[in-house]
């Protein structure tokens, strides 16, 4: 088994602003495992919210020896070995996990969605994200998003009602709101009441992650369901937040890959919690990987590749908002011509 990696700078179509800050260029790390001339590809899209960055990952990878992985081991043995090598960096765990699932699928002629028992025809419809902006830009972005039946709107700004009102001047389509930890209890109550009359599907992460008690209070009060993002890192988060949230947002870059994400899906189902698959700004490698699990969940917010101008890969497609999984073995990714 051979290992390689490279960095890539994803450029965003529009400067992307959420409650925490803005970005225009997003560096990601691509990793490759090769066996018998077949290569699996994975991706780390590190987030500074979780104290991870591409430079730290490449510095770490440059010191790493990949001797010792048994080329004849099972997929679980490969994953156990790789997780131990990732130094606790979640996005790097995800990169290894994705590349090894891709490689394993290609070597066994099995699509990754089939490996997880997912029915390709039942993939979710994805929302399209509108970042925080001024009225004119918001209107422009909503018109650009015309082909997407669902919007995800970032709030937690000082002009949240203006943002929603501006969108409602243009469209009545269903909106998911993500406050990215931007509210306090009073504002959360006020906004949930106000939003509930404006065709909103749910509210994601109203309060800072450390403020779980107020989240439980808001859940008692709110007419809208609450989804956990920054409060839900991996499967170990789920028992702790059960009761404070109605559902969870699983991201490969938070939980460390597909194997852990599938464990989270099992645990959330046992607790009757809703499940969404989310993403960072990512290439089609990580977006397609997350999409392979979308037939198993309730909601998808997998548009991180669509927000960019220079995605080097082809993978999952979106038709009228619905995710169309590639049919090939592994993740089904190819480099763009
Ligand atoms: Mg979120």
Among positive and negative, which fits the CA dihedral 229, 235, 240, 243?
Answer: positive
Q: Specify the pLDDT at position 52.
A: 96
**53, 80, 110 - which closes a domain:** 110
Quote the ligand 1 centre to 192 CA distance (angstroms): 16
Q: Say if strands 38-44 and 128-130 run parallel, antiparallel, or are unpaired.
A: unpaired
Quote the ligand 1 centre to 35 CA distance (angstroms): 36
Quote the ligand 1 centre to 169 CA distance (angstroms): 24
Quote the ligand 1 centre to 301 CA distance (angstroms): 9
Distance, CA of 307 to CA of 133 (rounded, Å): 15
Res 18 pLDDT > 90: no
Quote the ligand 1 centre to 110 CA distance (angstroms): 32
What digits encode the pLDDT tens for the residues 263-276?
A: 999 999 999 999 99
Quote the ligand 1 centre to 154 CA distance (angstroms): 8
CA distances from 317 to 287, 302, 313, 332, 337 (A): 10, 11, 11, 11, 16
Quote the ligand 1 centre to 19 CA distance (angstroms): 10
What digits encode the pLDDT tens for the residues 203-260?
A: 999 999 999 999 999 999 999 999 999 999 999 999 999 999 999 999 999 999 999 9
Distance, CA of 187 to CA of 189 (rounded, Å): 5
Q: Say if strands 151-154 and 128-130 run parallel, antiparallel, or are unpaired.
A: parallel
Number of folded domains in the chain? 2
Instruction: Count the helix, strand and coil residues of the chain and give each as a percent rounded to the nearest 5.
Output: 40, 25, 35
Q: How many CB atoms lie within 10 A of CB 68?
A: 8
Same domain, 8 and 34: yes
Contacts of 147 (CB under 8 A, 6+ apart): 320, 321
What digits encode the pLDDT tens for the residues 140-178?
A: 999 999 999 999 999 999 999 999 999 999 999 999 999
Mean per-residue pLDDT for 287-292? 98
Quote the ligand 1 centre to 260 CA distance (angstroms): 19
Same domain, 60 and 184: no
Same domain, 190 and 321: yes
Quote the ligand 1 centre to 287 CA distance (angstroms): 15
Quote the ligand 1 centre to 62 CA distance (angstroms): 31
Please give the residue range of the domain that contains residue 94: 2-110
Global pTM? 0.96
Residues whose beta carbons lie less than 5 angstroms from ion ligand 1: 178, 204, 229
Q: Say if strands 151-154 and 334-335 run parallel, antiparallel, or are unpaired.
A: unpaired
CATH of the domain at 230: 3.20.20.120
Model confidence at 17, pLDDT cuts 50, 70, 90, reads: confident
Quote the ligand 1 centre to 208 CA distance (angstroms): 12
Mean per-residue pLDDT for 187-191? 98
Model confidence at 16, pLDDT cuts 50, 70, 90, reads: confident
Distance, CA of 261 to CA of 309 (rounded, Å): 28
């Amino acid at each position: 088994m051979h290992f390689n990696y490279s960095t890539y700078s994803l450029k965003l179509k529009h400067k992307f602003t959420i409650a925490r800050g803005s970005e225009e260029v997003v560096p990601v790390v691509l990793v490759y495992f090769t066996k018998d001339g077949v290569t699996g590809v994975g991706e780390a899209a590190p987030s500074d919210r979780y104290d991870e960055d591409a430079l730290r990952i490449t510095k770490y990878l440059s010191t790493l020896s990949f001797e010792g992985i048994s080329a004849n081991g099972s997929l679980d043995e490969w994953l156990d070995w790789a997780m131990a090598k990732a130094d606790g960096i979640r996005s790097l765990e995800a990169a290894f996990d994705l590349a090894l699932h891709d490689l394993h699928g290609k070597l066994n002629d099995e699509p990754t969605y089939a490996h997880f028992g997912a029915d390709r025809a039942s993939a979710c419809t994805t929302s399209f994200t509108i970042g925080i902006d001024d009225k004119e830009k918001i209107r422009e972005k909503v018109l650009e998003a015309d082909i997407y039946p669902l919007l995800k709107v970032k709030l937690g700004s000082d002009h949240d009602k203006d943002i929603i009102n501006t969108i409602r001047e243009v469209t009545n389509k269903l909106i998911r709101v993500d406050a990215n930890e931007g509210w306090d209890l009073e504002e959360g109550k006020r906004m949930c009441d106000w939003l509930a009359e404006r065709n909103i599907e749910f509210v994601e992460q109203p309060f800072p992650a450390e403020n779980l008690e107020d989240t439980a209070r808001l859940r008692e009060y709110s007419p809208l369901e609450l989804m956990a993002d920054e409060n839900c890192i991996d499967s170990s988060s789920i028992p702790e937040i059960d009761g404070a949230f109605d559902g969870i947002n699983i991201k490969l870059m938070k939980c460390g890959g597909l194997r852990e994400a599938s464990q989270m899906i099992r645990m959330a189902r046992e607790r009757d919690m809703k499940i969404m698959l989310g993403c960072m700004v990512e290439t089609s490698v990580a977006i397609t990987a997350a999409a392979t699990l979308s037939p198993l969940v309730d909601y998808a917010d997998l548009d991180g590749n669509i927000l960019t101008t220079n995605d080097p890969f082809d993978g999952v497609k979106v038709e009228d908002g619905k995710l169309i999984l590639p049919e090939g073995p592994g993740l089904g990714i190819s480099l763009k011509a």
